[in-house]
Structure 1
């Protein structure tokens, strides 16, 4: 039974006899994007299964993680990948190589030939051989069908369940559509990872493939070591060997790579680009400012021209489809994203009719005039059937010919924070836009006998000399050669970045 509470009585909401059970960590759902809900068939089936699953999940990867907008860099990665694929015997898949817009250093593959490397991992590399060995490793995961085999083992249970009965489709359908990701997950294609044997096989077969393509198989060791060292540097925690880890211990992997490499011969074919580091100049570090940045809890999107303040101490998340925040209790969240461009009022009316038709109640849409003289349309709902009432906000509004929507849920304790956050949505100011600075990779030429400390000071590096040494695989106290290319990180104003692009 649903009853409407009029706004004049002091509430924006509707009381609903609906079950509210939000458990688990909703943020995990936003970040875990490779959800599959099928019973793993026999691995004897044709590779059409790999192609189907790969195509389905590749679309989700690219929508949720985003492709790095650098066509020249992506084309280069594809060329290196193509050189490796050319050495496969009877390849069963058409391979595609893409750079993911993610600062976390990672590379992964989906069934059917979809191989991804993040800009975060590229930033750690120092030559084309390292890139080739990483891509070859992922190619082997595909050709050996490790993802399909891992699904059969079901090594992870369900990570999250968000029932679809929270005011009908308000959460399950509307938030799911906004985030372009299902809110129910079961077996996870990526988060489950590979077994130790799968990783070891991909190391051995991957460097063998790289050697056949003319790349130095030993290059796999340094990039693994540098990746591990970068994580230890950031976390200040040393990796410890554990027999419960799914992945092999990094020093053990490097040792086995060196052992296998001794048996391999490679021609040392000329790289596609001998000046690899120049490919990384200008690479974004941390958040991509073109997708918006956080200044504490304030989110600024200079391209779309919007800003919104999220509640203090809430965990924030920024994905291509939506930006938002989740309370630490995992029962409260607010997300903002684009709505279908049918006009804010039309979107609100459509939602009103859907709820009325589904639940046979009258829904009131509350219009308000925004600070930029546009109309915002609010719908408020209360679900009072659970242990405590849950407040739901739905808001539609327009700014600069774009239509936005806000989806928020919370118990009463956080309702005011949710509403204040939703009302903070507004155009970005020029002062805010001008203050946005972002770290980027810069490749600088060293002076003769210059130290890393001296180079860091001269180049206004944002990272200290020990981090520069790690990033470039250099000794901290070594003297540099004249014109030696060195990667550093510098701060650049957003307006300079956007002008350069």
Structure 2
């Protein structure tokens, strides 16, 4: 039988705490943050793209390593939202709106905003605000989570959910405004230090703030959302510039070409439809005849592929690979274009070549396993992805994907087990328990397999609140009826 995915220990499970707690512990912060992300994911607001995930996580952790923060487990994710904004949540969860990345002019500006959000977490501004006005802050946090989860369960539109959130936030805004401003200044000061230590231009944070402030001056009604959630002013920008000027002159060379490629990938994914994405690149090519930057051609290739013009897309990605065979995104672009064209053998050959060149690379392995699954080779797809996930913690999407592979293979016990891990990663403990019980109900389980499932079930069950236990019982009753 297949071995289990290596996941975290019980440290990954929430610490429920007690009613006597007067401070939010880091484990409680994590539980709250994970609940909010779960709501965002269920609402379709979290972007599930292996290449973008790999990029934004890598950039975030390049900054975090200089924070020397052993308390928080940072998680970075892209949000499907055109608004120019980013936000830090309890527990080290940091969301970056697609609109923000598209508004930045270089990677240093993007890193600057992310460094600012990392500083909000490391300085525990959520907890410090709770200390200052504990009742208001705790009620607001609880209401915010409720707004998200109610919106999800009632099928509210993203706009309606955003309205609920804004009402919740607005109720506490007046009491918090002065404290928020001091937090913003501190996050700037600390974040600029992280930015410079990671090798990025320290003044890029102030540069981006200045751009946002200029946009606000042109039209107050069109002010970026970033300014509504991050109070700005001339003094704050000047202070950020002065802070950056204190760093000694040197070459800051952390900029990566991945930023330019992923920004174009994001542009294509966020387009209203495939026609609009292709139209954008056709206009760009018409405006600038002659050789184009590789990142523009990469976006053009993706737009062609998504529009179904697979042969043209293959030509673009082949040209890019002939120039740079070390860029993973080009290999995957070619393989996916071949798949769209119906060239299954060619696509799998391209995937296999990338898999050999970049062993155990997460985006490559995920894409290759998906290609194998489409080709009807579920057992091989299962083995390939399992080899990766036994070495790196899976995302919820990867856990869901390997569950699909096990199911296609007819291995229903492991399919339920992996779905349990999917729900656990998303913080839905009752559903995680429910899926483990379904796994244990499968016939012909091997003794080792049964023991593993039972141990995992006991481990998770310890953290179920009475309400969660009732939810798990309702799920079992519905499935047995």
- Give 1 or 2: higher strand fraction: 1
TM-score, length basis structure 2: 0.46
Q: Could you say which structure has the greater relative contact order, defined with CA pairs below 8 angstroms and 6 or more residues apart? A: 1
**TM-score, with normalisation over the residues of structure 1?**
0.44
Larger Rg: 1
